Amino acid sequence: MERWLGPWSDYCYAVLRIVAALLYLSHGTQKLFGFPGGRAVAGNPLLQTAGVIEVVAGCLIVLGLYTRYAAFLASGEMAAAYFIVHIWNGFWPIVNRGELPVLYCFLFLFIASRGAGPLSLDPMRG
């Protein structure tokens, strides 16, 4: 497997970063604009703040711009989402429907530690 996929590992990481950030971004647009599907969360400042973080950090991570900072912020937001919303429905993520925030939290923490990788704007910043 290393022989076939090894040379492509940096690009696979870039695709993982971009796809995860696009999915994360869609949660923000759903909260703020009701798109795609659902309703905007007008009147709930906590969810509106979460939506702004998801849109801004998601865009930055997709572009690979200030990736480490944006991913660290996104990781923290997902940890907070788990402990503010999900933990009250049971400890285990599979029980309290918190798998997605936990997965995003650790995925973005990994991205924050590794950086943008290829297909990003961070190298252009110098």
For residue 118, what are its two tokens? 């290829």
Using the predicted structure, report yes or no on whether residue 126 has a pLDDT greater than 90: no
pTM over 0.75: yes
| CA 38 to chain centroid | 19
* Per-residue pLDDT at 120: 95
DSSP annotation of 6 reads: G
Residue type, 27: H
Using the predicted structure, report yes or no on whether residue 38 has a pLDDT greater than 90: no
DSSP annotation of 116 reads: -
Q: Which residues of 79-100 are buried (b: 16+ CB within 10 A; e: fewer)?
A: bebbeebbeeeeeebeebebeb
The length of the chain, given as a count of residues: 126
